[in-house]
Structure 1
């Protein structure tokens, strides 16, 4: 399934991030890409495969390599590039990330 691999830093609770750890299997939220005109008009629904991360993800943690799936992969993956930066949204910004890999298969 097409996806991106990302490095994500979740904001700590003190920085305005989540107050609890992420669910242990998948986590869904909108992602907003920066600096990509074709993707900057709105957020895109994604699923982050937290189950592939060995430890629970707490507020303030950085995840070095996690896969993200999109409900509209054809729209997102044709425009996103390595190094693209993004934010994750859950009623507020909860994380910042960078695309470090793209898998079109």
Structure 2
């Protein structure tokens, strides 16, 4: 991970049968909007080169493209949704990290 994350999320990616993605996520990061209270914010979810299996729960660091717009809306336990043309993952904020 090259950028310092803003938050840690506890998230579960929906399976294809649940209307989520059709394949697992692989790579170093996943780019998508993160929705909180119906408002979307561009972010990078850091995967750490691990394979993210659908239907499993993960603690993942997130970096927002504009921290100042979203971090004031977040606190531990706040529900979030990841979006990829449809809701693909649901979870909550686990931790809000201090600014660099």
2:6 and 2:26 map into 1 onto residues whose CA distance is 20
Question: Does 1 or 2 have the higher relative contact order (CA < 8 Å, sep 6+)?
Answer: 1
2:33 and 2:63 map into 1 onto residues whose CA distance is 11
TM-score by length of 1: 0.83
Name structure 1 gaps, 5 residues minimum.
35-39
Count of residues in Structure 1 that have an aligned counterpart in Structure 2: 96
Q: In the alignment, is residue 50 of structure 1 matched against residue 47 of structure 2?
A: yes
1:103 and 1:6 map into 2 onto residues whose CA distance is 11
TM-score by length of 2: 0.87
Q: Once the two structures are superposed, what CA deviation does each residue of 1:47-102 show, in whole Å capped at 9, x if it has no partner? A: 000016xx410221211x21011001011112211110011110000000100101
Root mean square deviation of aligned Cα: 1.4
Give 4+ residue runs of structure 1 displaced > 2 Å after superposition. none
Q: Secondary structure at the match of 1:14?
A: helix
Name structure 2 gaps, 5 residues minimum.
none
